[in-house]
């Protein structure tokens, strides 16, 4: 478009947006008194659209959400074009067939949803800042994983090309260029990524339209609304730490053929998965957005470095200890009020839970007259009783620093042995610019497996928190063939990553799984033995995997056995580290006690109440503590 056209369109759209916002504001005020009255009276409809020429050809279109009905908004506010002409070519001039991509959102969705668009532009799902920062840190192109980046600004350094070739598909700025529903293969698409919904009839009519050579016009329009499914999340969040597939209980394998077993499944991208156990929330029918509301998904307009900075929700916001934090309907912010209205909730008279860290409301929750908390499932409207924390959860002296997921995660992915090489002679595909290129990065993966996550320590302003950790980047990088490489020396790094596995189970992991499992301590898989020789006792570890000649550690290890690591790079985060030697010794001392005392014995139960140190002052003559 010319700058003159853009300015004219901006003026028109600004006027329409102001009128629409005023209508919605009056509608919200009316909604507080009579929600059904708002829906029936169409009190929010104030835009005159009867003169648009679109409906001369696109007759009696249906399928729209009630808040995007063209009878109220028209067609041009979303699709642009020239509504004053009945000529097909002229009316379609400057039309946006798939509105909502970030490249056009300023002139389409953003004319009405300006605040939401501003938030999205800063969202990690748009910038991918943490992804870029960690990759550049590993490649030695940045001195820290804590610098802010935007994936849309990538150049062509070895790290940037690594991202372009292997990672740059999953960000909201990626264009949706083909008509059709969001699927497991979808990546990006701006507003469409979350808000586009095709009914079965709309999909069928789209197929007929395409088969007919675009002559048989569809009468069923897809809906843009707040009714997201887990499929909207899957395309991007089934990669990297594979949160979407973890949540469903499926773990990726390296198999080429699907075994004849119900324990295996092939997804749309032809990857084969093995069932390991679904998250308890998924088993209850809860969607991703039942926990992660619009305030987290779209962001709050701030530039965050990493996902854990942007996620404000914690398990204890719903599964609280004593009394819940709540907010009244009259105190909801505009965004929350709109979600409440769009979902036609009816619990205006009840308090709702709110998140402790930033105070945003969880509008699909309420406290009933008996003081019980309930969550309304966004998938089916089913009401789920939210149970308080168990009395044992983090109440004792021994486990106050443990996060919920460090105990309640059933399993986590463990990917080891990733070798990255650059091939000048192989044709690749630039995922950012969507074009074929000469030369590409190639990943060679050694093994995918699962197990209980290791334990790492997050350092916060409030103190230390033990969180799950998985092998994040145990990898080698050969960048000698890349034209922008400043060194021909290969790179080898051994870093673990803090992880929220999303494989939550009601039952917590056992005492032995922490205190007697070498993988949990960061040594990797193997045999951990407590060997007694007369009056002395020592711990010994025999790894399963061979030792890597570069750093002398087993291939799957994070740290050496009871020895300070020599590497300065240990984690993909500057505030996350493995257990120190002193912390390892403390964990293993409890492991030594478990050699004789069962976890339910009087002495071990007492240690939970008092901590270990008081009991070490009154040891029996039979007790042999390890020599460190």
pLDDT per residue as tens digits for the range 214-263 = 999 999 999 999 999 999 999 999 988 899 999 999 999 999 999 999 99
Dist CA 538 CA 627 (whole Å): 5
Q: Are residues 417 and 566 in the same domain?
A: yes
pLDDT at 46: 42
Question: Is pLDDT above 60 for 615?
Answer: yes
pLDDT at 32: 40
Q: Are residues 433 and 575 in the same domain?
A: yes
- As a whole number, mean pLDDT of residues 81-86 equals 91
394 confidence band (pLDDT: 50, 70, 90): low
CB-based contact 371:322 (threshold 8 Å): no
**Pair of tokens at residue 627:** 């020599």
Residues 6+ apart with CB under 8 A from 331: none
Question: Is pLDDT above 50 for 412?
Answer: yes
- As a whole number, mean pLDDT of residues 357-381 equals 97
DSSP string, 556-581: T-SS-TTS----S--BSSTTEEEPPH
Query: For strand 463-478 and strand 454-460, is the pairing parallel, antiparallel, or unpaired?
Result: antiparallel
**Pair of tokens at residue 490:** 């290969």
Residue 89: C-alpha distances to residues 81, 95, 97, 314, 627 (Å) = 10, 10, 14, 53, 84
- As a whole number, mean pLDDT of residues 446-465 equals 93
Least confident of 107-111, 155-159, 533-537: 533-537
pLDDT at 43: 34
When divided into structural domains, the chain yields a total of 2
Residue 96 domain flag: no
Question: Is pLDDT above 70 for 294?
Answer: yes
Residue 125 domain flag: no
CB-based contact 363:371 (threshold 8 Å): no
Closest by Cα among 592, 590, 584, 594 to 624? 592
- As a whole number, mean pLDDT of residues 372-380 equals 97
Residue 165 domain flag: no
Task: Give the distance from CA 4 to its chain's centroid.
Answer: 41
Give strand ranges (E) for 79-186: none
pLDDT at 72: 86
Residue 8 domain flag: no
**Pair of tokens at residue 158:** 């070895």
pLDDT at 181: 97
- As a whole number, mean pLDDT of residues 203-219 equals 95
pLDDT at 25: 43
Question: Is pLDDT above 70 for 265?
Answer: yes
Question: Which residue, 259, 279, 299, sits at the end of a domain?
Answer: 279
Residue 54 domain flag: no
Dist CA 334 CA 339 (whole Å): 9
Dihedral sign from CA coordinates of 133, 153, 167, 129: positive
Dist CA 351 CA 236 (whole Å): 34
Give strand ranges (E) for 176-258: 196-197, 223-224, 250-252
pLDDT at 351: 98
Range of the domain at 604: 410-616
Residue 194 domain flag: no
CB-based contact 420:443 (threshold 8 Å): yes
Instruction: Name the DSSP letter for residue 462.
Output: T
Least confident of 279-288, 306-315, 541-550, 607-616: 607-616
Residue 318: left if φ>0, alpha if ψ -120 to 50, beta else—which one?
A: alpha
**Pair of tokens at residue 88:** 């097909």
Residue 475 domain flag: yes
Dist CA 206 CA 179 (whole Å): 8
Q: Are residues 275 and 417 in the same domain?
A: no
- Altogether, the residues listed in the chain come to a count of 628
- As a whole number, mean pLDDT of residues 498-506 equals 96
SS3 content of the chain, % helix, strand, coil (to 5): 30, 20, 50
């Amino acid at each position: 478009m010319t700058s003159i056209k853009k300015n004219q369109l901006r003026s028109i759209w600004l006027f329409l947006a102001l009128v629409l916002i005023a209508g919605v504001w009056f509608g919200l005020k009316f909604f507080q008194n009579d929600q059904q009255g708002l829906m029936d009276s169409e009190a929010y409809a104030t835009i005159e659209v009867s003169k648009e020429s679109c409906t001369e050809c696109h007759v009696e279109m249906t399928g729209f959400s009630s808040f995007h009905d063209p009878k109220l908004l028209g067609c041009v506010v979303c699709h642009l074009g020239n509504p004053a002409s009945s000529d097909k070519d002229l009316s379609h001039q400057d039309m946006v067939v798939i509105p909502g991509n970030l490249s056009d959102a300023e002139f389409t969705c953003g004319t009405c949803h300006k605040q939401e668009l501003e938030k999205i532009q800063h969202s990690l799902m748009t910038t991918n800042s943490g992804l870029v920062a960690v990759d550049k840190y590993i490649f030695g192109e940045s001195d820290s994983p804590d610098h802010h980046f935007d994936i849309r600004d990538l150049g062509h350094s070895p790290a940037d090309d690594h991202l372009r070739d292997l990672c740059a598909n999953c960000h909201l700025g990626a264009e949706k260029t083909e008509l059709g529903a969001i699927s497991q293969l979808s990546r990006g698409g701006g507003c469409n990524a979350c808000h586009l919904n095709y009914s079965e009839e709309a999909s069928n009519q789209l197929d007929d339209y395409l088969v007919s050579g675009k002559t048989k016009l569809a009468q069923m329009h897809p809906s843009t609304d707040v009714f997201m499914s887990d499929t909207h999340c899957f395309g991007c969040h089934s990669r990297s730490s594979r949160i979407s597939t973890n949540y469903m209980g499926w773990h990726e394998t390296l198999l080429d053929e699907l075994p004849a077993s119900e324990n295996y499944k092939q997804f749309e991208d032809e990857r084969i998965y093995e069932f390991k156990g679904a998250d308890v929330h998924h088993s209850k029918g809860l969607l991703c957005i039942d926990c992660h509301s619009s305030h987290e998904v779209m962001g709050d307009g701030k530039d965050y470095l990493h996902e854990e900075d942007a996620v404000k929700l914690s398990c204890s916001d719903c599964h609280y200890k004593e009394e819940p934090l709540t907010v009244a309907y009259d105190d909801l912010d505009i965004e929350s009020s709109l979600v409440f209205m769009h979902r036609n909730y009816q619990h205006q008279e009840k308090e709702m839970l709110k998140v402790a860290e930033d105070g945003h409301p969880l509008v699909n929750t309420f406290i009933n007259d008996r003081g019980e908390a309930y969550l309304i499932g966004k998938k089916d409207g089913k009401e789920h009783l939210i149970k308080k924390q168990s009395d044992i959860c983090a109440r004792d002296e021994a486990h106050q620093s443990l996060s919920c997921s460090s105990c309640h995660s059933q399993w986590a992915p463990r990917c080891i042995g990733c070798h990255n090489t650059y091939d000048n002679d192989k044709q690749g595909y630039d995922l950012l610019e969507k074009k074929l290129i000469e030369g590409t990065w190639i990943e060679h993966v050694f093994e995918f497996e699962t197990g209980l996550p290791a334990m790492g320590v997050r350092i916060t302003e409030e103190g230390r928190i033990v969180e799950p950790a998985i092998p994040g980047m145990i990898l080698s990088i050969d960048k000698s063939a890349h034209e922008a490489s400043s060194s021909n020396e290969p790179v080898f790094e051994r870093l673990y990553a803090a992880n929220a596995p999303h494989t939550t189970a009601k039952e917590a992991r056992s005492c032995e799984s922490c205190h007697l499992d070498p993988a949990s301590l960061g040594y990797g898989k193997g045999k951990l033995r407590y060997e007694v020789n007369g009056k002395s006792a020592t711990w010994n570890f025999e790894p399963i995997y061979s030792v890597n000649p570069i750093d002398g550690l087993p291939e799957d290890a994070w740290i050496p056995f009871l020895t300070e690591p020599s590497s300065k790079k240990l984690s993909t985060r500057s505030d996350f580290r493995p257990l120190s030697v002193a912390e390892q010794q403390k964990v293993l001392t409890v492991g030594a006690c478990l050699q004789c005392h069962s976890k339910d014995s009087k002495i071990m139960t007492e240690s939970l109440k008092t901590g270990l140190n008081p009991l070490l002052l009154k040891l029996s003559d039979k007790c042999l503590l390890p020599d460190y």
